[in-house]
Every structure is written in C-alpha cells, then in structure tokens.
Amino acid sequence: MLSSYVLVFIQLACIIFIILTGDILPSEIFLLIPGIVFVIISFLSMAEMKFRFNIVPELLENSSLVTSGPFKYVRHPIYTSIIFMILILVINDFTFLRFGVWIILVIVLNIKLNYEEKILAREFPDYIVYKSKSKKLIPFIY
C-alpha cells in the first residue's frame, strides 16, 4: 500500500531530523538511563519476534501473532520505545521545532499502529482477545 510507505517516510524523516538537530546521546544521566531501558525493550521486542518484523505496517509472509515478552504488556512495544527514545532526545536538546516534529512522529506512529491493528485483527482471530487484555502503547494506561 502506497500510504504505508508515505507513513514510513514521514516517520524516518522525523527521526532523522531530530537526530541531526541535537545531540545523539543524552547528556544527563536521568535521560540516559531511561534511553538505555527503551533500547533494551526495543531489542527484546524484536528478539521476541525472532527479528521478523516489517517497518511498513503490513504482515510478512508466514507471520504469527506474538503476545509474549514485552508484547504481554503492550501491543506495540517497538513503537513505544521509538516514541520515548526520541522524546528523550528532544528533552535533552529542547526546541519547539524539535518538539513539533516529535508530535508529528507520534501522530504518524499512531496512524501506523491503528492500520496495523486492523490487519492483525483480520488475519489473527485471537487478536481481538489479545487486544482486550493488553494496552496499546503504555502498560496499564494506554
């Protein structure tokens, strides 16, 4: 789907803009530690999927529904990690422009994950039950 590629382009453009307009690593320990935690969560999520994931919100051939590991707590832990890792970079070197780009990133990721959830619900009958027992992005909250 063409719009999937547009969403990915906007996502990558936002991330690259934020990375290129500030420090790559947080300078404060109170930002560095959560950043490391989100990198670990992202890696664990990818490992739980056996590194079979797609940046485009479409299923790969022979995909299966993963509900264990970080996916036990949120349905989109990689998106959660991206959102908060980039927010940490914005906070570390704050400008309103960078914050605005982060807001665009959050909107794009929400559009992607909503589209992805429709596909998952269509392809995996168990997804509806999983969806009712898990949160979208933030454990116990949203």
Q: Considering the entire predicted model, what is its pTM?
A: 0.90
Average pLDDT, integer, range 118-133:
92
The model's pLDDT over 29-79, given as tens digits with 9 standing for 90+, comes to 999 999 999 999 999 999 998 888 888 878 888 888 999 999 999 999 999
pLDDT at residue 2 above 70? Answer: no
Q: Compute how many other C-beta atoms are within 10 angstroms of the C-beta atom of residue 55.
A: 13
Alpha helices, DSSP H, located in the chain: 2-20, 29-48, 77-92, 96-123, 127-133
pLDDT value of position 59? 82
Q: What are residue 74's phi and psi, to 5 degrees?
A: -140, 150
pLDDT at residue 132 above 60? Answer: yes
